[in-house]
Amino acid sequence: MPRQFFVGGNFKMNPTSSGQLGSIISVLNSADLDGTTGIVIAPPSLYLIPLKATVRSELQLSAQNCYYKDSGAFTGELSPAQLVDANIPYVILGHSERRTLFHETSEFVAQKTKAALNATLKVILCVGETLPERETGQTAAVVQNQLQAVVDVLQESDWSGVVIAYEPVWAIGTGRVATSAQAQQAHLDIRTFLTQAVSPAVAENTRIIYGGSVTAANSKDLSTQSDVDGFLVGGASLKPEFVNIINARN
C-alpha cells in the first residue's frame, strides 16, 4: 500500500484572536482540497474543542504538545487522556521549539510519545538537526539519536500511530528551506535507520514528512521526492497558500 500523503498545519502560538482563527478556517472550509491527502491542523489548545464544531470533517485536529501522565498536579500541562476524551486524535511531540526553548530531551519526548500512543493518540514526532550540526556532517547521527530514544520505548506495532516530521532547525521559520535533494537524503536516511532499528515493514509504512519554511512555491518540487510523504507547515499554514501546499501534488 502506498503511504498516504499527509499535511499538517502547526499554528504554534497563533493567531491571537478567534476572529483571525475564523478567517483561517473559513478559507480551509471553502477550498478545493485534495481528497487523497491526510490533513491535520494544530491550533493552540484552547481552540481545539470549539474548532471541532466548525472545521470540515476532512480536517483532523492535533494538539501541539502533551504530558505523559493522565492526571495530577502538573500545572499548565494537558494529558493524553484528556485529548482522547475530547476526541482530538493527534498530538505533535518533540518539536524543536519544545526541545530548545523548553529543554525537552529526546528521552522525555520518547516517554511522552509512548504515553500518547498508549492512550490511542496518533503522534507527529519531530526530529531535526541544527545548522552547526549539519555543517559538521552530523545530520544523520543527530536525527538517529533523537529517534533511537523513541525506538527504545516503543513496540513495533506502536509505529502505525507515528508520523515522523523531519524538520531541520535551521529551516524552521527562517525562509531557508532545505533543497529537495537535502530533504530526500535525510528522509531516506531515516527510512534506512528504521529498517535496521525497527523493521523493514515499519520503514516502508511510516510517513516521513518535511517541515521548515514550506511554502506553496517550494512544496511542489519537494513533494516529488520519493521519501517525502508530506509536510508539517508553520507560518504558511496561517495563510491561504496552505491550500496550495495541501494540494502540492496536483
Q: Are 211 and 164 in contact (CB under 8 A)?
A: no
Torsion-angle region of 230 (φ positive above 0: left; ψ -120 to 50: alpha; else: beta): left
Residue 117 binds ligand PGA, judged by CB under 6 A: no
Among 33, 123, 186, 233, binds ligand PGA (CB under 6 A): 233
Catalytic residue among 97, 129, 167, 241: 167
Catalytic residue flag (residue 95): yes
Among 214, 222, 245, 246, binds ligand PGA (CB under 6 A): 214
Give the contact letters, 4-23, x = binds to ligand PGA (CB under 6 A), - = no.
------x-------------
Catalytic residue flag (residue 58): no
Residue type, 152: D
The nearer residue to ligand PGA, 158 or 241, going by C-beta atoms, is 241
In the complex, what is the shortest distance from the CB of residue 207 to ligand PGA, in angstroms, rounded to a whole number?
15
Residue 234 binds ligand PGA, judged by CB under 6 A: yes
Residue 50 binds ligand PGA, judged by CB under 6 A: no
Known catalytic residues are 95, 167
Contacting residues toward ligand PGA, per CB under 6 A: 10, 167, 172-173, 211-214, 232-236
